[in-house]
Amino acid sequence: MKKRTMETSLADHSPKLIRSIERRLFLRQGLSLGALVLLSGCELTDDQRVQKILTGMSRWNDSAQALLFSPTKLAPEYPESAITKPFPFNAFYSEEEVPDVDGRDYKLELAGLIRDNKPWRLPELYALPQTSQVTRHICVEGWSAIGKWSGVRFSDFLARVGADTTAKYVGFKCADQYYSSIDMPTALHPQTLLAFRYADQILPPEYGFPMKLRVPTKLGFKNPKHIMSMFVTNEYPGGYWEDQGYNWFSGS
């Protein structure tokens, strides 16, 4: 019998998503190759120029993926018996360096195209209607794990603060300096959560206290933890890994 490890293979459990991402990667690489062929008459050692063109192709690919995104298609949900224990810690720093946010004076700052940008304290956020999901977190590194997150549906929160939902992006800044952003259709997806709890407990620091964005339709790096502020904008906000060349859309 095949032994199951804690961090099960992405290919084992998410063949559809992997295939979809692989298709996009193939398309992107194909287009990148095309871009290089087009550039063959140019100075290929001009890194900046090549990088600019490849970035442009990647952004075009993002737009194509956004067009293919279905706002009603749901990510698979699982029974609680399928939850991965323990849920893996993953960050660009070690577990000992997890930011220690003080919940007593925490305020979620809002900016950009939001009517009511008064900051939110944790007791106010906890009082909003909450929902739970047991979904699979899929890391671009090639592992995945199932967990239970609870919080407020992000679309409800955006409606409550009067966010301009015709805007293109929602950006996030985090206590660990990480930053990321998502497209508005994904922000309004019914499974996108502003999560305050993991496994029915207040989100522990290692999983993103005081809150993380849980987006089961996207790869793990599009799920920022320790969110301190968010903004709605039409200006492309990028993200840390996205700015390093990872695909910005990174989802199904």
Partner 1 sequence: MLLLVSALCATAGAHAAEPSRVGVKPMKMDEPMKTGMMKPGMKVGDVRKAAEKRDRELKPMIEKESGSAKKPKDPPERRTYN
- Binding residues (CB under 8 A) for partner 1: these are 90-94, 96-102, 105-107, 109, 111-118, 120-121, 123-124, 126-127, 140-141, 160, 162, 164, 171, 173, 175-179, 221, 228, 231-235, 237-238, 240-241, 243-244, 246
- DSSP 3-state of 47: helix
- DSSP 3-state of 198: strand
Q: Is 39:53 a contact under the CB 8 Å cutoff?
A: yes
Nearest residue to 135 (alpha-carbon basis) of 13, 11, 5, 221: 13
Burial of 176 (0-12, 13-18, 19+ CB in 10 A): middle
- DSSP 3-state of 97: helix
Nearer to partner 1, 72 or 94 (CB): 94
Give the containing element (helix H, strand E) for 107: strand 107-112
Nearer to partner 1, 204 or 238 (CB): 238
Give the shortest CB-24-to-partner 1 separation in angstroms.
Answer: 18
Give the shortest CB-173-to-partner 1 separation in angstroms.
Answer: 7
Give the shortest CB-1-to-partner 1 separation in angstroms.
Answer: 28
Give the shortest CB-194-to-partner 1 separation in angstroms.
Answer: 14
Backbone angles phi, psi at 37, to 5 degrees: -60, -45
Give the shortest CB-54-to-partner 1 separation in angstroms.
Answer: 15
Q: Is 150:29 a contact under the CB 8 Å cutoff?
A: no
Other beta carbons less than 10 A from residue 223's beta carbon = 23
Nearer to partner 1, 43 or 96 (CB): 96
Other beta carbons less than 10 A from residue 140's beta carbon = 15
**Could you give the maximum distance between any two Cα atoms of the chain, in Å?**
61
Give the shortest CB-197-to-partner 1 separation in angstroms.
Answer: 12
Length of the chain: 252
Nearer to partner 1, 33 or 159 (CB): 159
| Sign, CA torsion 101/104/109/115 | positive
Give the shortest CB-89-to-partner 1 separation in angstroms.
Answer: 10
Supply the angle between the helices 47-68 and 15-38 in degrees, to the nearest 10: 140
Nearer to partner 1, 170 or 199 (CB): 170
Nearer to partner 1, 77 or 164 (CB): 164
